[in-house]
Amino acid sequence: MQVLQNRIALVTGSGQGIGQAIALAYAQEAATVVVADLNEKAADQTLAQIRAAGGEGMRLVVDVSDMAAIDRMVSAVVQHYGRVDILVNNAGIHVAKPFLEVTEELYDRLLTTNLKSQFFVMQAVARDMVRRGDGGKIINMSSVSAEIADPGASVYCMGKGGTQMLTRSAALELACHNIQVNAIAPGTIKTKLTPWYDTEDAVEYCRKFVPMGRFAHPAEVAGAAVYLASDQAGYVTGATIVVDGGLMIQ
Ligand SMILES: NC(=O)c1ccc[n+]([C@@H]2O[C@H](COP(=O)([O-])OP(=O)(O)OC[C@H]3O[C@@H](n4cnc5c(N)ncnc54)[C@H](O)[C@@H]3O)[C@@H](O)[C@H]2O)c1
């Protein structure tokens, strides 16, 4: 059974990595997928993979750190498909910098791309969901870094901590509109965001500190995103699914 039939899903940052895996998994579950990414070529490739597998969708080139671009993106989806049933707020960046060296420019860039964008994409989509009156599902990409402080990643960790509280706050206010807002907190997932996982040291770190002893594939995060977008998760809101091979239970 395909669990997302007749749903319109908007997935930001779906040109590669976790977002791409979610876009492909949603298409496999028969959702129509809007692939939204800053990188046009990457977005085209995801859409081509969706279509090659018999799925449907469109792609939008968007910078989610730009407020006007957020409005254009949501308007374009609503104009084209009439609504958004599922939003995955996934686009994000990571820049490592020791706390004492963080500049205002880096601080603003990281928090604007990773947190402010999630707030306002969610607001634009939720306003439309409320107007239509038949609910919706919103999934924000958090991280184990919301709970575990990483050296050299103070601003990234702050942003993900913000995602957690944003998720709970929005879930509380939107529950009466039947809009569910949840988060996913991935652990060590091998993508282009994390090139340092390609080193022997990182493999050793995983063996030592991740109970399951390995990195995860983006598709293993996509499974949680399918569940949260489906009717199976009909009474789940304000929650975070941790996908970390056991890292955080220690
Ligand atoms: N990889 C991990 O280990 C890991 C762990 C925890 C959380 N996460 C989170 O998962 C999400 C996806 O990460 P990933 O590992 O797949 O990264 P990635 O770098 O592989 O993919 C991120 C995608 O987002 C797009 N993007 C970046 N800035 C954008 C912007 N301003 N507007 C639109 N698109 C933009 C990129 O072009 C890219 O396609 C991020 O929010 C990240 O913080 C990743």
Average of per-residue pLDDT values in the chain: 98
Ligand 1 atom closest to Cα of 193? 19
Query: Looking at the annotation, which residues are catalytic?
Result: 156
Q: Which domains does the chain have, with CATH numbers?
A: 8-235 (3.40.50.720)
User: Is the minimum distance from the CB of 32 to ligand 1 under 6 angstroms?
Assistant: no
**pLDDT tens-place string over residues 48-84:** 999 999 999 999 999 999 999 999 999 999 999 999 9
Is pTM beyond 0.85? Reply is yes
**pLDDT tens-place string over residues 183-216:** 999 999 999 999 999 999 999 999 999 999 999 9
Q: What is the pLDDT of residue 1?
A: 86
User: Is the minimum distance from the CB of 15 to ligand 1 under 6 angstroms?
Assistant: yes
Q: What is the pLDDT of residue 38?
A: 98
d(CA 77, CA 72): 9
Beta strands at 56-61 and 179-186: parallel, antiparallel or unpaired? unpaired
8 A C-beta contact, residue 7 and residue 20: no
Q: How far is the CA of 140 from the centre of ligand 1 (A)?
A: 12
Give the three-class secondary structure for 216: strand
User: Is the minimum distance from the CB of 221 to ligand 1 under 6 angstroms?
Assistant: no
Give the three-class secondary structure for 147: coil
Rounded to the nearest 5°, which phi and psi values hold at 39? -95, 105
User: Is the minimum distance from the CB of 199 to ligand 1 under 6 angstroms?
Assistant: no
Indicate the length of the chain as a whole number.
250
Q: What percentage of the chain reaches a pLDDT higher than 70?
A: 100
